[in-house]
Amino acid sequence: MDWLVSMPKVELHAHLNGSVRNSTLLELAKELGEKDIIVFSEVEHVILKNDRSLAEVFKLFDLIHILTTDHATVTRITKEVVEDFAAENVVYLELRTTPKRNDARGMTKRSYMEAVIEGLRKVDAVDIDFTYTEVRLEKKGKSCEMGNECDGISRKKIHVRLLLSIDRRETLEAAMETVKLALELKDFGVVGIDLSGNPKVGEWTTFLPALKFAREQGLCVTLHCGEVPNQEEIHGMLDFLPERIGHACCLEEDAWTKLKMSKIPVEICLTSNIRTNTISSIDVHHFADLYNTKHPLILCTDDTGVFSTSLSKEYAVAAAAFGLGKKELFQLARNAVEFSFAQEQVARELKDFFDLVEERLS
Ligand code: 5GP
């Protein structure tokens, strides 16, 4: 496990509010309990519970949103989540979040995102690059690259890019607002749009005009696809040819063939799929088929907080379940750069970094 923690990794499917530390959630719940906004004893066990169905997960998200949705807390959790990923040597993180309007707290979708960006600015445990224009840290005239020695001090560096999520409960108008916001925030690291939220709620076609608009305007699109066995939706999503899809669990044979032909990269979240019982057990997980047929795939966490996992743990699960050795795991991590929505320059820097680390390991 130590080796997997030290290996550089790329995270492409992580939801901000699903990645909040349990300790932070409990602290926030206590504060709201003291203000009589919630009853702490009633929510404590909900936060600490480990096994949840997909339906229970979405109930938990409603609770998390009550705890986290004010500007200062959004800033705090963003900083903590980024620093947690950096601590386990994630060198590129695509963090997704649903911009939220909350009139009671004077929050607009834009001010929510400004609070997220403020959280990125506040990251200080590591060097961070999150803006469109690559900013290099200059120290005494020397340029510090990721984790390189710089004046004898080794500083970790993480690149963070943002995806704005559309929640399936939203209206087309609200989704359009999210896409327009994403376009306005391109210079602050927003690179794409995600469609997520309870897969049993709403019709994905409601959001097609917003997703098409996003694509026309140069944003990348990733869709949560096949978390429930809705074959019509799955086919429609694959025909849209998103840049990536998440999960791809419940595809029947013809949809599976279509996915394979399309070469759409799949964000695989092993622990999430098992915990929510979307896949009955790890030995029947579709990771094996995708991996063996060299279909583009990326190991991801989904929600480190909700599912008590980390990216290193996801690699450990894959190693144990599918017999992958160090070389294969490293290659899997390196390949993920290819499927990121990062700009050329960032992708090049990341690939060079992986090459450098590989040289040192061999
Ligand atoms: P947020 O967007 O509020 O930062 O992160 C939490 C939200 O991400 C949830 O309310 C939900 O909309 C979405 N989400 C997190 N995990 C999952 C998942 O496994 N499946 C789907 N479909 N949506 C998820």
ipTM for the complex? 0.99
Burial of 130 (0-12, 13-18, 19+ CB in 10 A): buried
86: CA distance to ligand 1 center in Å?
A: 21
Closest residue by Cα to atom 11, ligand 1, is 197
Consecutive sets of 10 residues in the chain, 362 residues long: mean pLDDT of each? 93 98 94 91 85 86 93 98 97 98 95 98 94 46 41 74 98 98 97 97 97 98 98 98 98 98 98 94 97 98 96 98 96 98 94 90 68
**CB pairs under 8 A, 24+ apart, for 284-293?**
285/321, 286/248, 286/249, 286/251, 287/318, 287/321, 287/322, 288/322, 290/266, 291/322, 293/260
Q: Which helix (H) or strand (E) holds 163?
A: strand 157-167
Asked whether 105 and 143 are in contact (CB, 8 A), the reply is no
pLDDT of residue 151: 39
Closest residue by Cα to atom 19, ligand 1, is 302
Domains of the chain in start order, with CATH, are 2-361 (3.20.20.140)
Checking DSSP bridges between strand 137-139 and strand 149-150, what pairing results, if any?
unpaired
Phi/psi at 194 (5° precision): -125, 145
3-state class (DSSP) for residue 66? helix
Closest residue by Cα to atom 10, ligand 1, is 61
Query: For the chain, what is the largest distance between any 2 Cα atoms, rounded to a whole number of angstroms?
Result: 59
Give ∠ CA 127-190-24 in degrees, rounded to 5: 60
CA-16 nearest atom, ligand 1: 4
Other Cβ atoms within 10 Å of 241 Cβ, number:
12
Model confidence pTM above 0.80: yes
Mutate which of 61, 78, 245 for ligand 1? The one with the most ligand atoms within 8 Å of its CB, which is 61
What CA–CA distances, in Å, run from 119 to 99, 130, 211, 246? 14, 11, 27, 25
Catalytic residue numbers, as ranges: 227
196: CA distance to ligand 1 center in Å?
A: 6
Closest residue by Cα to atom 5, ligand 1, is 17
Rounded CA separation 357/114 (Å): 35
Mutate which of 75, 113, 167, 196 for ligand 1? The one with the most ligand atoms within 8 Å of its CB, which is 196
